[in-house]
Amino acid sequence: MHRRALIALTALFLGATTLGSWAQDTVRIAVTAGPHAQIAEVAKKVAERDGLKLQIVEFQDYIQPNAALDAGDVQANSYQHLPFLQSQIQARGYQISPVGYTVTFPMGFYSKKVKSLADLPRGAKVGIQNDPSNSGRALALLQKYGAIKLKPTAGISATIADVIENPKGLQIVQVEAAQLPRSLDDLDAAAINTNYAVQAQLVPTRDAIAIEDAKSPYANLLAVRTADKDKPWVAKLVKAFQSPEVKKLVESSFSGSLVPAF
């Protein structure tokens, strides 16, 4: 009886050890459909070489991936930039931390009338988005290229009221983001998000007269639960998403609509 009990306990222990090892080496990662899912598929193959198994879970919205991560239904996600993550943490109290950058969907200014923001005439009409997160982003880009100057305290939530210098007297017009490509005929220049630029047959890295850096505050990132951020598998995950294979995919498959941020 003692021998049988020992064998049974040994089998139970080995089974538990195997299960524990499997759980530790398999990471469920939430992504949104499209480029993030495509990138994750390449990263999955790279991660396997380091003994890390990825299970990709696709979502169709921007809210659920963080909710699922905070709840422990997934162990990581890849789909958002830092300002969005910070707003979600502030609003919902999530215990989530960024651990590495992936790609940037660069916002750019486009024009049918000038070749650079420096060429804008005095009093030019410049379109930016009418929603707070994107309008602040567009204003920051105008400042980067010297077209305006913002209050030092404005940050990523800058509004038109934060403009303290406007040397050319630009008329900054706020328009619904999806309408900006259609408004180019009526404006001297307009800030356009990458998804809407691509729909309008515009290539950010080719057609924009001003464009965000790859490592702008709006670079997309990998996130994990704060309690997990120093675990060994996180380093393997970051390594896979920042691998030469992922970089090659981004540079060859998306026609300049996104760029590596690592």
- For residue range 28-80, what is the model confidence (pLDDT) as tens digits? 999 999 999 999 999 999 999 999 999 999 999 999 999 999 999 999 999 99
Cα separation of 18 and 236, whole Å? 20
User: Average pLDDT of 157-165?
Assistant: 96
CA distance 77 to 58: 10
Question: How far apart are the C-alpha atoms of 192 and 99, rounded to whole Å?
Answer: 28
Report the C-alpha dihedral over residues 25, 31, 36, 39, rounded to 10 degrees: 20
Give the model's confidence band at 16: pLDDT under 50 very low, under 70 low, under 90 confident, else very high. Answer: very low
Judge whether 165 and 148 are in contact, CB under 8 Å.
yes
Dihedral (Cα; 214, 255, 135, 211), 10-degree rounding: 50
C-beta separation of 27 from 49 below 8 A? no
Three-class secondary structure of residue 172 per DSSP: strand
Q: What tokens were used for 117? A: 């923001």
Q: Under 8 Å CB-to-CB from 28, ≥6 apart: which residues?
A: 54, 55, 57, 73, 74, 75, 76
Q: What is the pLDDT of residues 83-124, one digit of tens each?
A: 999 999 999 999 999 999 999 999 999 999 999 999 999 999
Cα(68)–Cα(74) distance, integer angstroms? 6
